[in-house]
Amino acid sequence: MTAAKALSIESPTAILSTWIREAFRGRFPDAESDFADIAVVETANPEFGDYQCNAAMGLAKVLRQAPRAIAETVAAAGEHPDCLARIEVAGPGFLNLYLDNDWLARHLEGIAADERFGAPEAGAGKTVVMDYGSPNMTKPLHIGHLRSHNIGSVLDRLHRFLGYKVIADNHLGDWGTQFGITIMGYRHFGDEAAMQTAPLEELERVYVLSYEQTKEDPAWMEQCRAELVKLQSGDPENLAMWEMFMRLSLEELDRVYARLGVQYDIVHGESYYRDKLAGTVEMLEQKGLAVESEGATVVFLEEEKLPVCIVRKSDGGFNYATSDLATVAARVEEFDPDRIIYVTDERQQLHFKQFFAVCRRLGYTVELDHIWFGLMRLPEATFSTREGNVIKLEALLHEAESRALDIIEASSPDMPEEERRAVAAAVGVGAVKYADLSQNPQSLVTFTWDKALALDGNSGPYLQYAYARIASVRDKYADRFPEGTPETEPLRLDETIERALALQSIRFGEVVTRAAHQYKPNVLTDYLYELAQTYSSFYQNVPFLKAPEGVRESRVRLCGIVAAILKQGLDLLGLKTLERI
C-alpha cells in the first residue's frame, strides 16, 4: 500500500453549502439578505436525501414567498456541482440533495489516500495548551481521576490530528493545602515499615488521620497551615519531606499513565511557579485589581457577579487562583498560545469563572476554556474486592483486565497465553476508557461492567472486535485470490448498503472536527459505533468472496477503508486495535 499523504479535500457539506448559497443569491438577487448563513447538513435518514437544506422555511418573510415556492426556485437553478446528482423539494419546503454515485466513489478513494481521512487541517498555525489530568499529589489515583486524564488526552489527540500545535501540561497539585496536612500526619502517625511497602497508601492513611484531626482540633488545623507556610517559604526540613512525597507520587503516576496511555509534553506542577506567587499578587495590587480585605488580598468581582477571589490568605499563604494566574502568565510568555484548555470536574466551575474574569481584567487575549465533566459513579457491587471508601484507579484497571481475560479465554481458547494477556490488557483498559468517553462529558456516568464489556453494544470491545473481523476479510481474500490487488480496483457503490457505508465513511473528517471543537469525544464514539453497525449489515447483506470479479475487489477495498477509519478513530480515542481477538 502507498503511504497516505496530506491532501486537501473539500467535503460535500462544504461544496454543497457554497453552491446552494450562490443559488439563493443568483435566484433572489434583490433580496435583503446576503444568505451568508445558508448551509446544508447531513441527513440522518436517507429518505430525506444525503444532505438537506431547510433555509427556505426561515426566508419566507424576507422573500415574501411561500417556502415551497422558494425551494422550487432554488432547485431549478441550472448548473449543479459535479457531486450533486439531483435535488428535490419535499414537504413544506425542504431541499433534499443526493450525491452522484460515481463522484461519491472517487471522493471516498481520495479520502482513503489522505493521511487525515478528509479532515481539514483546522489547527494549522494555531497553538493550544492543554491542562488535563493535573491530580493533587500524595494520594493514589482513584477512579475520580479517570475522566480528566481520559477526556483530556482524547481532546489532545484530536487537536494534534487536526494540525494544532498542542502542549499537554500536567499541572500537578503539588504545592497546596494538602501538604501541610500530610506533613503533620506523617510526623505524628507515620509508620516507617509501611512507607517501605506501600508508600502512597501510607501517605493517604496519615493524611486522612491528620485531616480528621483538623476537624476536631483548631490548634492542629493552625499547625497544618503553619507547616504549609513553612514549606512555601523554603523551610529545609519540610522541603525535604515534600521532595520525598513527590518522588513517591510521581513513580505511581508513571506506572498508571503507562497503562492508560497518557503522555505529556511538560509536567509543571503548581510548585514550578512558586517563586512567581508573591510577584503575581504584587502585580495585581499595582494594577489596582487586588485590594486588602480583612487581612487577606482579594480581587472583587462584583461586576461579573462573582464572589471575591482570594489571592493571598490572611496567614500569608497563596491560593489555587494565585497559582493559576502565575501559570497563565508563564504559558502566555513561553508558548504564546491561541487557546488554553482546562479539563476538570464540574466542582471547579466557580474557580475557573473567577480566574478567567481576573485574566480578562488583566487584558489577556488568549482564549480560555474550562471543560468540565460530571462525576463517574460506580454502583455497589461493581467490585469483587473493595478497600476503604475510594476505589483506586489501578484496581479498576486490574479488574477490567481480569474480566477481559475471562471473556477471551472463553472466546479464543486456542490463543497463546502471552497474546491472551496482551489482548486482555487492550480490551480491558479500552473498555473502561470507552465507557467514559461514550457519554456526554457533562453528564453523570454510571459505570457498569456489563455495559463496558458488552460485545454487542456501544462499547470498546464491540468496536475492537468489529475491527478484527473487518481486518480478517482482507486475509480471507488474500488466501483465495493471492494475485488480487483490491486496493487499486475502482470502488463501485451499486447496492444501497454499499452506498450507505460510503456516505458514512466520508463523514469521518467532519465528525472528528466537531468532536474536537465541541470538546465531545462522544461525537466520535457515536459515529464509530454507527459505522461498525452499518458495516455489519453490509457484511451480512452482500456477498464478498462469491461476488463477481471487480465487485468482489471493490467490496474488499471498501472493507479495508472502513477498517482504516475505525482504526484511526479508535486510535484517537486511545483504544488499541488488534488484528485478531
**Which residues in this chain contact ligand ARG in the complex, by CB under 6 A?**
131, 134-136, 171, 173, 324, 342, 344
Whichever of 356 and 539 has its CB closer to ligand ARG, that residue is 356
Q: Min. distance of Cβ 161 from ligand ARG in angstroms?
A: 23
In angstroms, rounded to a whole number, what is the distance separating the alpha carbons of residues 482 and 232?
69
Q: Min. distance of Cβ 321 from ligand ARG in angstroms?
A: 9
- Comparing C-alpha atoms, which of 457, 459, 456 is closest to residue 428? 459
Whichever of 346 and 571 has its CB closer to ligand ARG, that residue is 346
Whichever of 342 and 434 has its CB closer to ligand ARG, that residue is 342
Whether residue 417 contacts residue 425, with contact meaning beta carbons closer than 8 Å, is answered with no
Whichever of 324 and 401 has its CB closer to ligand ARG, that residue is 324
Q: Min. distance of Cβ 343 from ligand ARG in angstroms?
A: 8
| Residues forming beta bridges with residue 342, ordered by sequence position | 131, 370
Whichever of 43 and 136 has its CB closer to ligand ARG, that residue is 136
Tell me the residue nearest to ligand ARG as measured from the CB: 173
Q: Which residue has the cell 497518557?
A: 262
Query: In 10 A of CB 20, how many CB atoms?
Result: 25
Own/partner contacts of 38-41, CB < 8 Å, gap of 24 or more, are 39/13, 40/13, 40/16, 40/95, 40/97, 41/13
Q: Which residue has the cell 503511504?
A: 3
In angstroms, rounded to a whole number, what is the distance separating the alpha carbons of residues 315 and 320?
15
Whichever of 341 and 564 has its CB closer to ligand ARG, that residue is 341
Q: Min. distance of Cβ 397 from ligand ARG in angstroms?
A: 19
**Cell digits of residue 185:** 500526619
- Comparing C-alpha atoms, which of 507, 506, 527 is closest to residue 573? 527
Whichever of 112 and 310 has its CB closer to ligand ARG, that residue is 310
| Residues forming beta bridges with residue 53, ordered by sequence position | 95
Q: Min. distance of Cβ 200 from ligand ARG in angstroms?
A: 15
Q: State how far the alpha carbon of 143 is from the alpha carbons of 44, 199, 459, 509, 574, in Å.
A: 36, 19, 19, 32, 18
In angstroms, rounded to a whole number, what is the distance separating the alpha carbons of residues 319 and 298?
11
- Strand residues in 300-366 grouped as ranges (E): 309-312, 339-345
Whichever of 203 and 564 has its CB closer to ligand ARG, that residue is 203
Whichever of 113 and 340 has its CB closer to ligand ARG, that residue is 340
In angstroms, rounded to a whole number, what is the distance separating the alpha carbons of residues 312 and 323?
10
In angstroms, rounded to a whole number, what is the distance separating the alpha carbons of residues 420 and 422?
5
- Upper half-sphere CA count for residue 72 (Cβ side, 13 Å): 7
Whether residue 132 contacts residue 148, with contact meaning beta carbons closer than 8 Å, is answered with yes
Q: Min. distance of Cβ 123 from ligand ARG in angstroms?
A: 22
Q: Min. distance of Cβ 329 from ligand ARG in angstroms?
A: 13
Q: Min. distance of Cβ 331 from ligand ARG in angstroms?
A: 10
Q: Min. distance of Cβ 393 from ligand ARG in angstroms?
A: 13
**Cell digits of residue 289:** 485589581
